[in-house]
């Protein structure tokens, strides 16, 4: 019997239909398309965290609904990607397989293995870049080595012409005669058994439609003052696109080209400045992938080798207090509580809480990265690794060791009215500035007036800032005087 050939479109971290290079390639083949998602999470040292699993469930559900509107379905399978693709090829008689590349180290080696194995089966494969603006392999510095400093990377970036893959999708996608069986989404067990995600549902709409809504909100309102306000956690002026970008629900190239087109056509100074600031953040994202791609060991090991000898503290109680947002430093605690409740935290707060963990508490940055990995809806191996190593001082272009954020002055500067702290720590909300950022110095009568009993309704600081700072400076300075390391 002669079989009608089909193409497999294998979704990964590109859970969208619009501006999806792999899908556009599949459409060009003119073959009926089978849409597949394979959940395969057990062979990595970074299995998906709880918050990401929640997001993935919602995103797959949204993608399935989008496909059903187009008379298609999303075939969900679980297991080893190569073995699953091979069996799908046999079931469907697929002659072509299309996907977008993933850049995490374990995915890269898997991709190569899959490509070779499928080609050996006489199946045509094509992989594209659907999740970054520029492929990490694309450029190196003037000495032919990977970049380790952001500014030259950014300059080089600006010299490139970046074009988004855009083509409108046909109303009807070519449908195969029969669909292979799918396991029910629920069988993946991604959703929590105890419903702790109500705070997530109140904030996020996972999926392509949610991503576009979020992007529209950014360009129509938030972008206007992005440059001025993007460092202020009390103002919601960043795009909050990070989980959508991580799961590929919106194309970063599309975001980039939309903003840079406006940048080119609207030369009014303020808008020009705002778009540049946002484009720069997107380039930071690509920079983090550039680093992880070229230094694949860095999700666990410091990029700067001598940091491997740093003596971190071992204090599970302090770690637990940090995780729960009960360190007694309101700006830190507000961030950690926002993270727990919503799965997200503003970049400024991420820096402050990371600095607190690695410098005030001298706890290993990997412990912080693991907690973020489990609790962030935008948990991203490249961004998370770069962020933690940057703050700890052991990564590329890292913050100098003597930069130790003072959580009180950071609070006063970036949350000057105390609104952010009040939002996440209601028991302190009525305290006026500056006491809301340092309640232990507030007049006792004022505390009593607002029903605050330190040590009972809100904790005392778990460390003294000045003492912790001195301890960290000494520990980091000792390392500084050790013999050098190889740097590029």
Ligand X SMILES: Cc1cc2nc3c(=O)[nH]c(=O)nc-3n(C[C@H](O)[C@H](O)[C@H](O)COP(=O)(O)OP(=O)(O)OC[C@H]3O[C@@H](n4cnc5c(N)ncnc54)[C@H](O)[C@@H]3O)c2cc1C
Question: Residue numbers of the site for ligand X (CB under 6 A)?
Answer: 230, 238-242, 245-246, 281-282, 284-285, 288, 346-347, 350-351, 354, 372, 376, 378-380, 383-384, 387-388, 391
Closest to ligand X by CB, 6 vs 223, is 223
Residue closest to ligand X when measured from CB atoms: 387
Do 40 and 79 meet the contact criterion of CB atoms below 8 Å apart?
Answer: yes
Closest to ligand X by CB, 231 vs 427, is 231
CB atoms within 10 A of CB 88: 20
Question: Is residue 447 within a helix (H) or strand (E), and if so which, with residue range?
Answer: helix 444-449
CB of 349 to ligand X, least distance (A): 9
Q: Is the peptide bond before 434 cis (omega within 30 degrees of 0)?
A: yes
Rg (CA), the chain: 24
The token duo for 349 is: 């707060």
CB of 440 to ligand X, least distance (A): 26
Closest to ligand X by CB, 97 vs 345, is 345
Question: Could you please report the per-residue DSSP string of 171-224?
Answer: SSPPPPSSPPP---GGGG--S-SS---HHHHHH---SHHHHHHHHHHHHHTGGG
Instruction: Please tell me the distance from the alpha carbon of residue 195 to that of residue 190, in angstroms, as a whole number.
Output: 12
Closest to ligand X by CB, 241 vs 318, is 241
Closest to ligand X by CB, 382 vs 468, is 382
CB of 151 to ligand X, least distance (A): 14
Do 292 and 105 meet the contact criterion of CB atoms below 8 Å apart?
Answer: yes
- On the 0-12 / 13-18 / 19+ scale of CB atoms within 10 A, 3 is exposed
Question: Is residue 124 within a helix (H) or strand (E), and if so which, with residue range?
Answer: strand 124-128
CB of 162 to ligand X, least distance (A): 15
CB of 304 to ligand X, least distance (A): 16
CB of 109 to ligand X, least distance (A): 22
- Listed in sequence order, the DSSP H helices in 238-344 are 242-246, 252-265, 269-294, 316-324, 330-342
CB atoms within 10 A of CB 450: 18
Half-sphere exposure of 245 (CA within 13 A, CB side): 23
Do 374 and 50 meet the contact criterion of CB atoms below 8 Å apart?
Answer: yes
Instruction: Please tell me the distance from the alpha carbon of residue 390 to that of residue 347, in angstroms, as a whole number.
Output: 13
**What's the count of helices (H) and strands (E) in the chain, helices before strands?**
20, 5
CB of 285 to ligand X, least distance (A): 4
Closest to ligand X by CB, 346 vs 367, is 346
CB of 59 to ligand X, least distance (A): 15
Instruction: Please tell me the distance from the alpha carbon of residue 120 to that of residue 180, in angstroms, as a whole number.
Output: 23
Closest to ligand X by CB, 66 vs 288, is 288
Closest to ligand X by CB, 350 vs 360, is 350
Closest to ligand X by CB, 85 vs 104, is 104
Closest to ligand X by CB, 110 vs 380, is 380
Instruction: Please tell me the distance from the alpha carbon of residue 81 to that of residue 40, in angstroms, as a whole number.
Output: 7
CB atoms within 10 A of CB 416: 14
CB of 72 to ligand X, least distance (A): 29
Instruction: Please tell me the distance from the alpha carbon of residue 269 to that of residue 145, in angstroms, as a whole number.
Output: 36
CB of 312 to ligand X, least distance (A): 16
Closest to ligand X by CB, 25 vs 327, is 327
CB of 350 to ligand X, least distance (A): 4
Instruction: Please tell me the distance from the alpha carbon of residue 132 to that of residue 104, in angstroms, as a whole number.
Output: 12
Backbone angles phi, psi at 211, to 5 degrees: -65, -40
Closest to ligand X by CB, 118 vs 376, is 376
Helix axes 365-375, 347-355, angle to 10 degrees: 140
CB of 306 to ligand X, least distance (A): 21
């Amino acid at each position: 019997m002669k079989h009608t050939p089909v193409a497999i479109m294998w979704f990964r971290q590109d859970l969208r239909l619009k501006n999806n290079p792999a899908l556009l390639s599949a459409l060009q083949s003119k073959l009926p398309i089978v849409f597949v998602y394979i959940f395969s999470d057990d062979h990595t040292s970074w299995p998906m965290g709880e918050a990401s699993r929640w997001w993935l469930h919602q995103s797959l559900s949204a993608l399935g609904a989008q496909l059903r509107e187009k008379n298609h379905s999303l075939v969900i399978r679980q297991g080893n990607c190569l073995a699953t693709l091979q069996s799908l090829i046999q079931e469907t008689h697929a002659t072509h397989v299309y996907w977008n590349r993933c850049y995490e180290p374990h995915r890269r080696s898997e991709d190569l293995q899959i490509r070779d194995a499928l080609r050996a089966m006489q199946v045509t494969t094509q992989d594209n870049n659907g999740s970054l603006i520029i492929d990490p392999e694309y450029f190196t510095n003037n000495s032919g080595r990977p970049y380790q400093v952001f500014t030259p990377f950014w300059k080089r970036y600006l010299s490139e012409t970046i074009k988004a893959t855009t083509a409108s999708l046909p109303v009807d996608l070519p449908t195969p005669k029969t669909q292979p069986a799918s396991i029910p989404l629920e069988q993946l067990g991604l959703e929590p058994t105890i419903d702790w995600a109500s705070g997530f549902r109140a904030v996020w709409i996972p999926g392509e439609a949610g991503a576009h809504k979020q992007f529209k909100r950014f360009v129509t309102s938030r972008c206007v003052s992005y440059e001025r306000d993007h460092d202020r956690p009390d103002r919601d002026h960043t795009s909050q696109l990070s989980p959508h970008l991580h799961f590929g629900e919106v194309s970063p190239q599309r975001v980039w080209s939309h903003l840079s087109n406006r940048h080119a056509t609207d030369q009014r100074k303020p808008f020009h400045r705002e778009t540049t600031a946002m484009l720069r953040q997107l380039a930071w994202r690509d920079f983090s992938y550039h680093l992880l791609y070229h230094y694949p060991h860095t999700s666990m090991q410091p990029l700067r080798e001598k940091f491997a000898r740093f003596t971190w503290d071992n204090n599970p109680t302090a770690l637990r207090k940090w995780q729960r947002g009960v360190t007694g430093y309101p700006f830190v605690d507000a961030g950690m509580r926002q993270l727990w409740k919503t799965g997200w935290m503003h970049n400024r707060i991420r820096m402050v809480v990371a600095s607190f963990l690695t410098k005030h508490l001298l706890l290993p940055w990997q412990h912080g990265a693991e907690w973020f990995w489990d609790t962030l809806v935008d948990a991203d191996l490249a961004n998370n690794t770069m962020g933690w190593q940057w703050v700890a001082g052991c990564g590329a272009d890292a913050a100098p060791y003597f930069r130790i954020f003072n959580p009180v002055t950071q609070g006063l500067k970036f949350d000057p009215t105390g609104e952010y702290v009040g939002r996440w720590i209601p028991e302190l909300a009525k305290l006026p500035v500056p006491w809301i950022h340092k309640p232990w110095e507030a007049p006792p009568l004022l505390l009593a007036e607002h029903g605050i009993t330190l040590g009972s309704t809100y904790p005392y600081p778990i460390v003294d800032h000045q003492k912790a700072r001195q301890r960290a400076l000494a520990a980091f300075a000792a390392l500084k005087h050790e013999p050098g390391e190889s740097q590029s």
